[in-house]
Amino acid sequence: MIASIVIEIVKDRAIAFVSSLLGTRTGRLLVYAAVAAAVLGALFVWHKIDKARAVSAAVQDKVDQFELTSLQVQLEEMKRRKAVADSANRDLQTRIEQADADAEAAAEELADYVSTVSDSCVVDADLFERLHNR
């Protein structure tokens, strides 16, 4: 009960103070200045927050662009290396086939030499000339 009476008194006095404040030119000017200061303060805080977000977004965009460029360069390097490896594999395969052909020809030549040697292991004069001229 006493609390409600105190609340009523404070309420009446607050209304009276605001009425007397708004009733004068200086009071209205102070209220307008306070409202303007509150609005300007809110705009300043919003500006700082928005600026920080914009800077953060710009930094993230640059980081994303850098990472994308880096991955593209890595991909190009991998493609280049694959092309070099494929070329080397083709060259190696060609050399292997040539070596196999040479080995087969040498084996046939050796078989030919072996067939020209008689059972008594005497070399024919023909074979001796061919081997001597090599």
Which residues make Cβ contacts (< 8 Å) with residue 22, sequence separation at least 6? 28, 31
pLDDT in tens, 106-120: 888 887 776 666 666
Burial of 52 (0-12, 13-18, 19+ CB in 10 A): exposed
- pTM over cut 0.75: no
Of 17-26, 37-46, 74-83, the one with minimum mean pLDDT is 17-26
